Amino acid sequence: MDDLKIGVIGLGVRSSLATIAHRPGKGSRVVACCDRDRRMLNAVPERFGPATQATFDHRDLLDADLDAVFILTPDSTHEPLALDFLRARVPVFLDKPMAITTEGCDRLLSAARSCDTALYLGHNMRHMPVVLAMRQIVQDGLIGEVKAVWCRHFVGHGGDFYFKDWHADRRNTTSLLLQKGAHDIDVIHWLAGGYSRLVNAMGGLVLYGDLTARRERRPGERMTDWFSPEENWPPGSLRDLNPVVDLEDVSMMQMRLDNGVLASYQQCHFTPDYWRNYTVIGAEGRLENFGDDEGSVVKVWNRRSDYREEADLTIPVHTPEGTHAGADSQLVAEFIEFIRKRASTLTSPIAAREAVAAACAATASLRNGGRPVDVPAPDPLDVAYFEYP
């Protein structure tokens, strides 16, 4: 079996996915890289081999005879970069979020369909063991028909991760309901078996907006250059914030899905702990996860009682080694198989688009007094095209 020839656009934190994909002699190898940071390009020979092409301009890779390309760049660049490669008929792995507008997502779907080019979205949480365990419980009917879902996300490292660089500027991200929430909204949709069609939201920049310790832009600096868990507390002591900080640091959205399920999502970026907690309520019980890495469990209650910590069913979740609870390795393996065979996938371009659409509509609501906003449906032609076998 010949190795797939892989290109990589963006050599930052998420380029760990490219490292996973680089398996010379075992099915895939990175042969070309693009980044605007010379430091990253200088490290290419050591990371991927001395023969690996390295360039500042992604257009140099459009005709480089690639079998696929990983696009792992800042959010606002996803759409233009992916459009170029889709139109060049190079299969694309696009990290989440798909784009920073609903319209941008629809342009990507349309381009992939019209050019008949493979498009894969990096929603790695669909491969996380805790999410798969919750979905299996739902599919097995252990809580009956799903009626409501909610998720609380305490983003304990939010100040360092999202308010010291490009993330903090809404021109680059739209909102953290989109940038960070796209994962959770997608999981909510997946567990509920439907997509949001009406949303509303409230939130604000209630803490980091008051901090005056900003810094000048330093091109090429990465989050890993400054992140220190010990220095990230209390949040009010945070220093060196991005010059522009205009994103909400706490947000709450509500959703009505097309199948009648009601859902909510809450996100806070200045909690002392990092924690993501889902609750799914069905007609015959409820489930809840406690943790999302090794040692976590999913509990199911389906007998009437007063509050009790002991559940009727407790499912331990085994987490393989690797980033994001082992999900990144599964994500890359699925993408490689998808490119080779157009095999079915857990991820979905339509689902990725629907997560962005819900988040964008919620952001519009949040910034306009919490009024309800309709979420536009995708083009039926795109939906039909992306129904992979």
| pLDDT single digits (tens) 342-363 | 888 999 999 999 999 999 999 9
Structure confidence at residue 387 as a pLDDT band (50, 70, 90): confident
Lowest-pLDDT choice from 85-89, 182-186, 271-275? 271-275
> DSSP character for 241?
B
The pLDDT mean for the chain works out to 94
**Quick one: what percent of the chain has pLDDT higher than 70?**
98
Does the pLDDT value for residue 143 go beyond 80? yes
Model pLDDT, residue 231: 74
β-pairing, 196-204 vs 250-257, is antiparallel
Q: Return all residues near 65 (Cβ < 8 A) that are at least 6 apart.
A: 5
Model pLDDT, residue 225: 81
pLDDT in tens, 53-100: 999 999 999 999 999 999 999 999 999 999 999 999 999 999 999 999
Determine the average pLDDT of the residues in 37-47.
94
Cα separation values, 220 from 41, 231, 309, 323, Å: 12, 22, 48, 24
Q: Tokens representing 121?
A: 């979205």
Does the pLDDT value for residue 5 go beyond 60? yes
Model pLDDT, residue 221: 75
d(CA 244, CA 166) in angstroms, rounded, equals: 8
Does the pLDDT value for residue 389 go beyond 60? no
d(CA 234, CA 147) in angstroms, rounded, equals: 38
Model pLDDT, residue 101: 98
Three state DSSP letters for 99-154: CCCHHHHHHHHHHHHHHCCCEEEECHHHHCHHHHHHHHHHHCCCCCCEEEEEEEEE
For each of the domains in the chain, give its residue range(s) and CATH number, in order of start. Answer: 126-328 (3.30.360.10)
Structure confidence at residue 10 as a pLDDT band (50, 70, 90): very high
Does the pLDDT value for residue 219 go beyond 70? no
Structure confidence at residue 388 as a pLDDT band (50, 70, 90): low
Any idea which residue has 């999913």 for tokens? 298
Q: Which residues of 26-51 are buried (b: 16+ CB within 10 A; e: fewer)?
A: eebbbbbbbbebeebbeebeebbeee
Cα separation values, 300 from 12, 235, 295, 308, 319, Å: 39, 35, 17, 11, 19
d(CA 238, CA 296) in angstroms, rounded, equals: 31
Cα separation values, 82 from 130, 195, 289, Å: 30, 24, 35
Closest CA to 297 of 317, 311, 312: 317
